[in-house]
C-alpha cells in the first residue's frame, strides 16, 4: 500500500521551477532515499509533502498521503494531518523542539492532544519512546533541549516525530550537523526505531530520507531516487543504483562518494 504518492509535483519561485514534474511513490514500511546536490530540490520536495512550503512558493501537481491530498490545502485542513499523516526530523533539531520545555513534556503534548491519551498514559508512552531512541535516563528526559548534546537532541527529535505514529516519516539531512561517530549512532537509532514501529503501529511508516550523502542513504534505505536541477533522473533499488547506475549524473555521485571516503564505498543494506 502506498503511503505517499507524488504526481507531477512542481514547485516554482520567481526564477523558475525548483522541483519540476516529480512523480514518486513510497509504500508502507519502505525506506526511500532522496539524494542530490545542494539546490537539487530535495528539501523542497520534503516540505511540499509535509505541507510546509514557504509562502513564496507556487506549487502544482498532486501530493497524497494515504489517499489524502496535501498540496495547496489551507492550514485548517493541514494542521490536523500533521503528526498523523506526516512528521519531520529536521537537520537542526532546535527547529522542532521548544527550548523552554522539557523533552518529556514535549512528547506528552501531542500524545494527549492528537491521540487522546490520559496524562498517566501519555507519561508512560513518552518514557517508552524516549527509551526507544536511547534516552533512558529520566534525568535527561527532564532537561530542556539547550541542555542536551546535539546527538541527544536529534534522538529526542526522532521520538517526537513518532509520537503520533505517522504514515510517513521525513528525515531531512538529520545527521549532517553531527560528527561521524554520533552520525552513526543516530542512523542506528533511526533504523532500530523504524524496525520497532513495524510491530507497534497499525500501519508501518514509510521513510523519506533526504540527503546529499549516498553512503549514508545506502546504509538505511531500500530504494534511491536521484534529483538533479529539480528533476528525477533515476530511481531504483539501492543495489542497482550503486552497482549499475544508468545515468551519468548518478555515476558521478557514486564516484564522488567513493573519492571522499575510499575505505567506505557505499554498500546497500541487506
Scored b (16 or more CB within 10 A) or e, 67-91 reads eeebbbeeeeebeebbbbbbbbbbb
Write out pLDDT tens, residues 131-144. 988 898 989 889 99
Write out pLDDT tens, residues 30-82. 999 999 988 899 999 999 999 999 999 999 999 999 999 999 999 999 988 88
The whole-number pLDDT of residue 268 equals 52
**Is the pLDDT reported for residue 270 higher than 80?**
no
Q: Which residues pair with 12 in a beta bridge?
A: 17, 58
Residue 93 binned pLDDT confidence (cut-offs 50, 70, 90): confident
Q: Quote the longest CA-to-CA distance of the chain.
A: 56
**Is the pLDDT reported for residue 203 higher than 90?**
no
Strand-by-strand arrangement of the 16-27 sheet? 16-27, 2-13, 58-65, 68-69
39, 118, 242, 263 from 228: Cα distances, Å? 8, 47, 17, 27
Q: What is the pTM of this model?
A: 0.90
Q: Which residues pair with 26 in a beta bridge?
A: 4
Among 104-118, 173-187, 210-224, the range scoring the smallest mean pLDDT is: 173-187
Tally Cβ neighbours within 10 Å of residue 38.
7
**Is the pLDDT reported for residue 196 higher than 60?**
yes
More confident residue, 177 or 208: 208
Which homologous superfamily is 86-163+171-190 in? P-loop containing nucleotide triphosphate hydrolases (3.40.50.300)
**Is the pLDDT reported for residue 269 higher than 70?**
no
Average pLDDT, the chain: 88
18, 175, 180, 214, 255 from 264: Cα distances, Å? 32, 17, 13, 11, 12
**Is the pLDDT reported for residue 201 higher than 70?**
no
47, 59, 116, 264 from 268: Cα distances, Å? 27, 34, 40, 12
Amino acid at each position: 500500500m502506498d503511503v505517499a504518492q507524488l504526481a507531477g509535483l512542481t514547485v516554482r519561485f520567481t526564477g523558475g521551477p525548483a522541483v519540476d514534474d516529480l512523480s514518486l511513490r513510497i509504500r508502507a514500511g519502505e525506506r526511500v532515499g532522496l539524494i542530490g546536490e545542494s539546490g537539487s530540490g530535495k528539501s523542497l520536495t520534503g516540505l511540499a509533502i509535509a505541507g510546509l512550503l514557504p509562502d513564496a512558493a507556487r506549487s502544482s501537481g498532486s501530493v497524497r498521503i494515504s489517499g489524502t491530498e496535501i498540496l495547496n490545502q489551507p492550514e485548517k485542513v493541514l494542521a490536523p494531518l500533521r503528526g498523523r499523516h506526516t512528521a519531520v526530523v529536521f537537520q537542526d533539531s532546535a527547529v522542532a523542539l521548544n527550548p523552554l520545555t522539557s523533552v518529556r513534556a514535549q512528547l506528552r503534548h501531542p500524545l494527549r492532544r492528537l491521540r487522546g491519551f490520559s496524562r498517566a498514559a501519555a507519561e508512560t508512552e513518552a518514557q517508552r519512546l524516549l527509551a526507544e531512541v536511547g534516552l533512558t535516563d529520566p534525568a535527561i528526559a527532564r532537561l530542556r533541549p539547550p541542555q542536551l548534546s546535539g546527538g541527544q537532541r536529534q534522538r529526542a527529535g526522532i521520538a517526537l516525530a513518532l509520537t503520533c505514529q505517522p504514515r510517513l516519516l521525513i528525515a531531512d539531512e538529520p545527521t549532517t550537523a553531527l560528527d561521524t561517530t554520533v552520525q552513526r549512532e543516530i542512523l542506528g537509532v533511526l533504523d532500530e526505531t523504524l524496525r520497532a514501529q513495524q510491530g507497534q503501529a497499525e500501519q508501518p511508516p514509510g521513510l523519506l530520507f533526504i540527503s546529499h550523502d549516498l553512503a549514508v542513504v545506502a546504509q538505511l534505505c531500500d530504494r534511491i531516487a536521484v534529483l538533479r536541477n529539480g528533476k528525477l533522473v533515476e530511481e531504483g533499488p539501492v543495489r542497482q543504483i550503486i552497482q549499475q547506475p544508468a545515468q551519468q549524473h548518478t555515476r558521478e555521485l557514486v564516484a564522488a562518494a567513493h573519492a571522499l571516503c575510499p575505505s567506505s564505498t557505499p554498500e546497500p543494506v541487506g
